[in-house]
């Protein structure tokens, strides 16, 4: 460029390719044979131009060499990154065969002391030395293709930080088939280092049964192993080796298994939230009106669409692990000096409980117990002499895990239930579960001597239901004895307890029995005839969810103001 400036020529613009015209700059034009004088006149200019061409040639050649050197270096780096593990393994094997043999002998000796867990054999020399490194990073037909979209640690973080409106937009991560095999092996040295680095990138998820087996096999191997001699340069560790068909194995530490467990739980939460979103969205399109007596929160008529939108919006902004309703351990008390009323202290409802209730499925205890607790609170506040049993209390003298409670144990449970109530109570109401597949409800009144049992399916007799009816009579008689002790002015003679069945209104589906049973005892307490209105199971379900969420908000406000 110096020659160009000296010649007074204009400065040229830089080409798009800085080296595209470099070859043209180095080509010298042929001069015609002729006048030496003309040559002398141009000598100074020719030397200057020759110097300029020489510099351009040098610059172009140097630049090309640098580009080629950079490209070669990048290619080498990429190749090393791609094939680092086999290369390292081969280098280590070639550099230190004696050390590898010593490692294998030591691990084989230590492995002989470890009893293989059932269904998870512990190979003697697997994962040690050069062979262990190769196994940790390859040796198969490539990585397992059934993977989650994110590493396990990212899924675990999302399960606690994502908002619910983000959760139900996800899809559950794929889970490996049951044909996957887990075993426990030793890793040490470079194999252990490689597996440790790789554990942050694991994206495979075992089915729950295999995950349980993996935890059990690892725990059994650790119990059976004597503490091995630890070499600071080659520490040995038990890990779970996961294989599927002929794909590369994956090595899992206990922390990785814990992350996998969280990922499985997140999968279930995603599926449940999707069904909840669909259920509430469908109800938000309804033109139906909820009758006032069935609006548990306000007692006023309300549009189903408005209630569904309120429930949907409340849950959408919460995190998956949030608590939406809770009672302190002290439970509900009628006064500062009276004994605890009921057994609801420490009960709580979480976002997963609400999502599980907000779909076409058999409702579980969490929402029902929250509704029962709030019903008891209203009875206490309104001086209604009624005792509301929790689902655990009613199960304690009837059925636990589908098994009948023995008579002696049932008597003890009944006395404990009665001791948790004030002597002013004149009736008890409760929900009862039949063989873990159906909810019914019952009331027990000292004033009428009757035990109505409501079954929304109108089901006939069965052994489990007959057993419940017998235990209800036993509860009534024990409650009467206790009541008479605190009321000595009562007339002489016992109450003739009679059990009669109530089968109306009927549910029109197969999954809302719990909501019908709950609404029956609610209307019994408030003496409302709900047979006079149209009852839809999903509307009762929505009303209970809305009631629990609003009560939870009110309790949070009271605690914040206290």
286-337 tens-digit pLDDT? 999 999 999 999 999 999 999 999 999 999 999 999 999 999 876 555 444 3
Q: Does residue 305 share a domain with residue 175? A: no
Please give the pLDDT value at position 410: 96
Residue 78 lies in a domain: no
CATH number at residue 529: 3.40.395.10
Q: Does residue 186 share a domain with residue 315? A: no
Residue 83 lies in a domain: no
What is the rounded average pLDDT of the residues 123-147? 54
What is the rounded average pLDDT of the residues 247-272? 96
Q: Does residue 238 share a domain with residue 112? A: yes
The pair of structure tokens assigned to 363 is 């409702």
Most confident of the following: 206-210, 220-224, 360-364: 206-210
Distance CA 42, CA 62 (A): 30
Number of compact structural domains in the chain: 2
- Whole-number mean pLDDT of the chain? 79
What is the rounded average pLDDT of the residues 244-271? 96
What is the rounded average pLDDT of the residues 62-68? 59
Q: Does 465 have pLDDT greater than 50?
A: yes
What is the rounded average pLDDT of the residues 207-225? 94
Closest CA to 322 of 378, 273, 255: 273
Residue 517 lies in a domain: yes
Q: Does residue 294 share a domain with residue 373? A: yes
Cβ neighbours of residue 531 under 8 Å, at least 6 residues apart? 504, 505
39-43, 188-192, 378-382, 480-484: least confidently modelled range = 39-43
Q: Tell me which of 203, 238, 268 is where a domain ends.
A: 268
Contact in structure between 175 and 203 (CB atoms under 8 Å):
no
145-159, 320-334, 417-431: least confidently modelled range = 320-334
Which residue's structure tokens are 């089901």? 459
The pair of structure tokens assigned to 441 is 């409800």
What is the rounded average pLDDT of the residues 348-362? 95
Q: Does residue 408 share a domain with residue 339? A: yes
Rounded to two decimals, the pTM is: 0.72
Please give the pLDDT value at position 59: 54
Going by the DSSP 8-state scheme, the letter that residue 533 receives in this structure is: S
Residue 15 lies in a domain: no
Q: Which residue has the higher pLDDT, 74 or 497?
A: 497
Distance CA 415, CA 482 (A): 9
Q: Does 230 have pLDDT greater than 50?
A: no
Please give the pLDDT value at position 535: 93
What is the rounded average pLDDT of the residues 392-421? 93
What is the rounded average pLDDT of the residues 144-166? 96
Which residue's structure tokens are 């306000």? 298
Residue 154 lies in a domain: yes
Helix axes 254-283, 304-316, angle to 10 degrees: 160
Percent of the chain having pLDDT more than 70?
71
What is the rounded average pLDDT of the residues 22-26? 37
Q: Does residue 320 share a domain with residue 214? A: no
Q: Does 546 have pLDDT greater than 70?
A: yes
What is the rounded average pLDDT of the residues 339-358? 84
Residue 174 lies in a domain: yes
Q: Does residue 443 share a domain with residue 307? A: yes
Q: Tell me which of 233, 268, 303 is where a domain ends.
A: 268
- Neighbour-count burial for 271-280, b at 16+ CB within 10 Å, e otherwise: bbbbbbbebb
Go through the chain and tell me how many residues it has.
Answer: 562
Contact in structure between 253 and 483 (CB atoms under 8 Å):
no
Q: Does residue 371 share a domain with residue 251? A: no
Distance CA 251, CA 202 (A): 9
Q: Tell me which of 207, 238, 268 is where a domain ends.
A: 268
Tell me how crowded residue 494 is: count the other CB atoms within 10 A of its CB.
10
Q: Does residue 182 share a domain with residue 106? A: yes
* Alpha carbon distances (Å) from 365 to 320, 452, 453: 19, 22, 19
Residue 19 lies in a domain: no
Please give the pLDDT value at position 330: 67
482-495 tens-digit pLDDT? 888 887 776 656 78
- What is the distance, to the nearest Å, from the Cα of residue 242 to the centroid of all Cα atoms in its chain? 22
What's the pLDDT band for 75 if we cut at 50, 70, 90?
low
Going by the DSSP 8-state scheme, the letter that residue 361 receives in this structure is: S
* Alpha carbon distances (Å) from 511 to 170, 274, 439: 27, 19, 10
What is the rounded average pLDDT of the residues 221-249? 80
Residue 107 lies in a domain: yes
161-180 tens-digit pLDDT? 999 999 999 999 999 999 99
Kindly state the helix (H) or strand (E) to which residue 158 belongs, with its residue range. helix 152-161
Q: Does residue 202 share a domain with residue 298? A: no
What's the pLDDT band for 372 if we cut at 50, 70, 90?
very high
Q: Does residue 489 share a domain with residue 381? A: yes
What is the rounded average pLDDT of the residues 498-505? 92
Range of the domain at 140: 91-268
Q: Does residue 239 share a domain with residue 127? A: yes
What is the rounded average pLDDT of the residues 19-44? 41
The pair of structure tokens assigned to 188 is 């040490």
């Amino acid at each position: 460029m110096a020659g160009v400036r000296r010649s007074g020529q204009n400065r040229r613009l830089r080409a798009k390719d800085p080296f595209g015209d470099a070859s043209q700059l180095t080509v010298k034009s042929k001069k015609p044979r002729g006048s030496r004088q003309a040559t002398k006149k141009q000598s100074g200019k020719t030397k200057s131009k020759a110097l300029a061409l020489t510099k351009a040639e040098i610059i172009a050649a140097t630049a090309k060499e640098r580009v080629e050197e950079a490209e070669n270096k990048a290619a080498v780096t990429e190749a090393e990154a791609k094939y680092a593990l086999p290369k390292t393994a081969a280098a280590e094997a070639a550099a230190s065969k004696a050390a590898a043999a010593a490692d294998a002998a030591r691990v084989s000796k230590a492995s002989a002391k470890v009893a293989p867990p059932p269904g998870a054999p512990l190979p003697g020399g697997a994962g040690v030395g050069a062979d262990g490194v190769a196994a940790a990073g390859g040796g198969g037909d490539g990585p397992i293709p059934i993977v989650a979209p994110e590493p396990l640690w990212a899924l675990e973080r999302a399960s606690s930080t994502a908002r619910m409106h983000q959760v139900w937009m996800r899809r559950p991560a794929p889970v490996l088939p049951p044909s996957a095999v887990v075993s426990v092996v030793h890793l040490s040295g470079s194999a252990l280092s490689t597996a440790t680095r790789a554990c942050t990138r694991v994206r495979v998820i075992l089915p729950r049964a295999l995950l349980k087996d993996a935890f059990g096999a690892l725990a059994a191997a650790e119990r059976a192993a004597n503490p091995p001699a630890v070499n600071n340069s080659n520490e040995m560790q038990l890990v779970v080796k996961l294989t599927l068909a002929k794909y590369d194995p994956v090595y899992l530490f206990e922390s990785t298994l814990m992350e996998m467990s969280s990922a499985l739980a997140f999968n279930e939460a995603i599926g449940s939230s999707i069904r909840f979103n669909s259920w509430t969205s469908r109800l938000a399109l309804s033109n139906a009106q909820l009758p006032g007596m069935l609006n548990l929160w306000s007692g006023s008529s309300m549009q189903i669409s408005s209630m569904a939108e309120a429930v949907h919006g409340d849950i959408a902004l919460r995190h998956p692990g949030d608590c939406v309703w809770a009672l302190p351990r002290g439970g509900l008390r009628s006064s500062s000096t009276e004994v605890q009323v009921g057994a609801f202290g420490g009960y709580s409802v979480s976002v997963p409980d609400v999502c599980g209730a907000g779909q076409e499925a058999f409702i579980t205890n969490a929402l029902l117990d929250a509704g029962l607790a709030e019903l008891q609170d209203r009875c206490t506040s309104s001086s209604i002499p009624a005792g509301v049993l929790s689902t655990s209390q009613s199960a304690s003298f009837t059925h636990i895990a589908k098994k009948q409670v023995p008579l002696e144990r049932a008597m003890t449970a009944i006395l404990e239930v009665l001791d948790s109530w004030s002597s002013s109570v004149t009736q008890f109401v409760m929900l009862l579960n039949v063989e873990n597949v159906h909810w019914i409800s019952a009331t027990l009144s000292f004033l009428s001597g009757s035990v109505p049992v409501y079954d929304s399916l109108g089901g006939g007799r069965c052994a489990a239901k007959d057993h419940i009816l017998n235990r209800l009579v036993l509860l009534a008689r024990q409650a009467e004895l206790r009541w008479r002790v605190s009321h000595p002015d009562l007339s002489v003679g016992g109450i003739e307890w009679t059990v009669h069945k109530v089968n109306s209104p009927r549910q029109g589906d197969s999954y809302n029995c719990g909501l019908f049973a709950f609404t029956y005892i609610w209307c019994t307490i408030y003496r409302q005839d709900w047979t006079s209105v149209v009852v839809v199971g999903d509307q009762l379900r929505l009303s209970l969810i809305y009631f629990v969420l609003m009560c939870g908000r009110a309790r949070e406000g009271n605690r914040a103001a206290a």
